[in-house]
Structure 1
Amino acid sequence: MAEEVRETSPVAPLLAPAPVEAPVEGAPPATLWTRLHFFWFVLVGIFSTLIIAPCQVLTHRFHPTAANFKKWARRWAGIILKACGWRVVCEDRARLPEGQPCIFVANHQCALDILVLSYALPYPFGFVAKAELERVPVLGWAMRHSASLFIDRNNPRRSLESLQLAGERIRQGHPVLLFPEGTRGYRKELRPFKKGAFLLAVEAGVPLVPVVIFDSYRRLDERRMVSRPGTIRVVIGEPVPTAGLRRRHLTTLMETVQARMQALLREAGNSA
């Protein structure tokens, strides 16, 4: 049953298989209640996707903007979050001016992050997602007709073309969001960053805006099919400029952004 849900549902990318490690402290325990809550999340996710995706695709024909995608993504995520008892609190320290070209980079604790960011970020943006998600029924269709982009990491030429297209869109005022860790961590600590987001920011000449999600790993672990209600906190940090930087500065840029995100995570831990 679980495998069938993973393979056929329009929320399959939220439930994509991952190597199962021992749960970290604070993760949802495996109980009857947390498993029932997880399957309620799956059902609500399917319902919300089937309702919202056609609306997003239809309106995109007339308003092909990041703002239109963000509007429908927020509604999609809001239905699921509220139905599952997940409350999101967002603190915006960036205070970006309207129309500011930028790249958001966020930590990735679990599948819940996609919903949290779709709902909480007060700025229009599109996701930069791996190419496999383009083949997901309904959800992939909706993302193709949006401000989002797909990156084929297995094809260097297509990957480069996608990054160049993303750079053009960003400079035109269509921000995007990436997960620089490249995978879900299922813990509060950051995994090593990959270069894609930082290379894109340098090539586009736009600032990087760090976004930190707290406690989503305490609310959902799709590998173990468990979840529970609760509050997820989000902080949008101050932008990191990239003007004048070149590829030789990538390592320093990555270290700067990672240090800022780690500082925000420590700050949250001390205030918890």
Structure 2
Amino acid sequence: MRTFLAYTHAALYLLRILPSMVILRRKQNEHAYNKTNQFAKILSDRTLRIAKTEVVVNGKENIPDDNRYVLVSNHQGNFDIPILLSHINPNLAFIAKTSLQKVPLFGTWMTLKRCIFIDQSDPRQSVRQLSKGGEQVKHGTPLCIFPEGHRSKDHSVQSFSNAGARMAKKAGVQILPVSISGSYRVMEANEGKIKPAHVVVTVHPLVNPEEHASASTLNTHIHTMITSSVNTP
């Protein structure tokens, strides 16, 4: 029943804001961006409430106010995104696959949210888009990347791609490492059914890329920080 309620609520909410999204897409200005972030916060809050997902955030004082950072996080499950939007920053844009941009309504939402779409089969396009993402961050659009590239669906933390580290280092923006522990228990551990779960999010101190000689050493440092706060069952 909880799974049905969560999906039904999300579908009805998206349909309700559809006219607004159509109007906002024509503008794609600061107002459209801010309004889309408001919609995202409302939907995320309600989805977590319906799912009875209890979220505890440690280190919230480490989140900067200026929004000029790349948030790097492990990725346990589908609920990571609403958790981050609800409890860390509703203004977060995300690095996502280009295929998601074509999904009706959802693609519009991501576009208005200034998400960066990557074609993994086209390295040149990926480099250009990551460069664009770095410039957005410099101008106050916080960007989230899940460097594992896919959901772990359990407590493990897979190896990280260097993309986030390279982008932050090239753009000269700081990295906000975040550990998510337990989000896979909301859905992935239950064969797709949504169940109540306790999730702990740990926000680590900002990392300055200039303090690391290379993107590779920076990436290793970030991976170690994030892994250190991901609890095993």
Amino acid at match of 1:95: N
- Find the counterpart in structure 1 of residue 8 from structure 2: 43
Amino acid at match of 1:161: R
Structure 1 residues 140-179: aligned runs within 5 Å: 140-179=107-146
Once residues 184 and 56 of structure 1 are traced to their aligned partners in structure 2, the CA distance between those partners, rounded to angstroms, is 28
Once residues 53 and 116 of structure 1 are traced to their aligned partners in structure 2, the CA distance between those partners, rounded to angstroms, is 23
Structure 1 residues 228-243: aligned runs within 5 Å: 228-243=195-210
Q: Alpha-carbon deviation of 1:53?
A: 5.4
Report if the CA contact (8 A) 1:180-1:195 is conserved.
yes
Amino acid at match of 1:264: S
Once the two structures are superposed, residues 233-264 of structure 1 have per-residue CA deviations (whole angstroms, 9 ceiling, x without a partner) of: 21211111112656xx1221111111111111
Once residues 93 and 203 of structure 1 are traced to their aligned partners in structure 2, the CA distance between those partners, rounded to angstroms, is 26
Amino acid at match of 1:255: T
Q: Alpha-carbon deviation of 1:152?
A: 1.2
Once the two structures are superposed, residues 50-88 of structure 1 have per-residue CA deviations (whole angstroms, 9 ceiling, x without a partner) of: 234554564573525765443321111112111222232
Q: Alpha-carbon deviation of 1:223?
A: 8.5
What is the TM-score of this pair, normalised by structure 1?
0.76
Q: Which stretch of structure 1 is more off in the superposition, 87-96 or 194-203?
A: 87-96
Report if the CA contact (8 A) 2:97-2:120 is conserved.
yes
Residue 95 in structure 1 maps to residue 62 in structure 2: yes
Q: Which stretch of structure 1 is more off in the superposition, 169-178 or 68-77?
A: 68-77
Once the two structures are superposed, residues 190-226 of structure 1 have per-residue CA deviations (whole angstroms, 9 ceiling, x without a partner) of: 0111111111111111111111112111111288222
Once residues 124 and 190 of structure 2 are traced to their aligned partners in structure 1, the CA distance between those partners, rounded to angstroms, is 32
Amino acid at match of 2:192: M
Selected match of 1:136 from 103, 113, 116: 103
Once residues 204 and 20 of structure 2 are traced to their aligned partners in structure 1, the CA distance between those partners, rounded to angstroms, is 32
Once residues 3 and 31 of structure 2 are traced to their aligned partners in structure 1, the CA distance between those partners, rounded to angstroms, is 34
Once residues 224 and 173 of structure 1 are traced to their aligned partners in structure 2, the CA distance between those partners, rounded to angstroms, is 38
Task: Evaluate the alpha carbon distance shift between residue 231 and residue 67 of structure 1 in structure 2; reply closer, same or farther with a 3 A threshold.
Answer: farther
Q: Alpha-carbon deviation of 1:39?
A: 3.1
- Find the counterpart in structure 2 of residue 264 from structure 1: 229
CA RMSD of aligned residues (A): 2.4
- Find the counterpart in structure 2 of residue 184 from structure 1: 151
Report if the CA contact (8 A) 1:85-1:229 is conserved.
yes
Once residues 241 and 116 of structure 1 are traced to their aligned partners in structure 2, the CA distance between those partners, rounded to angstroms, is 25
Once residues 215 and 222 of structure 1 are traced to their aligned partners in structure 2, the CA distance between those partners, rounded to angstroms, is 10
Once residues 151 and 165 of structure 2 are traced to their aligned partners in structure 1, the CA distance between those partners, rounded to angstroms, is 19
Once residues 35 and 13 of structure 2 are traced to their aligned partners in structure 1, the CA distance between those partners, rounded to angstroms, is 17
- Find the counterpart in structure 1 of residue 171 from structure 2: 204
Structure 2 unaligned regions, length at least 5:
none
Task: Evaluate the alpha carbon distance shift between residue 173 and residue 128 of structure 1 in structure 2; reply closer, same or farther with a 3 A threshold.
Answer: same
Q: Alpha-carbon deviation of 1:113?
A: 0.8
Q: Alpha-carbon deviation of 1:232?
A: 2.0
Q: Which stretch of structure 1 is more off in the superposition, 219-228 or 112-121?
A: 219-228
Once residues 126 and 216 of structure 1 are traced to their aligned partners in structure 2, the CA distance between those partners, rounded to angstroms, is 20
Once residues 59 and 85 of structure 1 are traced to their aligned partners in structure 2, the CA distance between those partners, rounded to angstroms, is 31
Once residues 49 and 134 of structure 2 are traced to their aligned partners in structure 1, the CA distance between those partners, rounded to angstroms, is 34
Report if the CA contact (8 A) 1:65-1:147 is conserved.
no
What percentage of residue pairs aligned between the two structures are identical?
A: 25
Structure 1 unaligned regions, length at least 5:
1-35
Once residues 140 and 195 of structure 2 are traced to their aligned partners in structure 1, the CA distance between those partners, rounded to angstroms, is 37
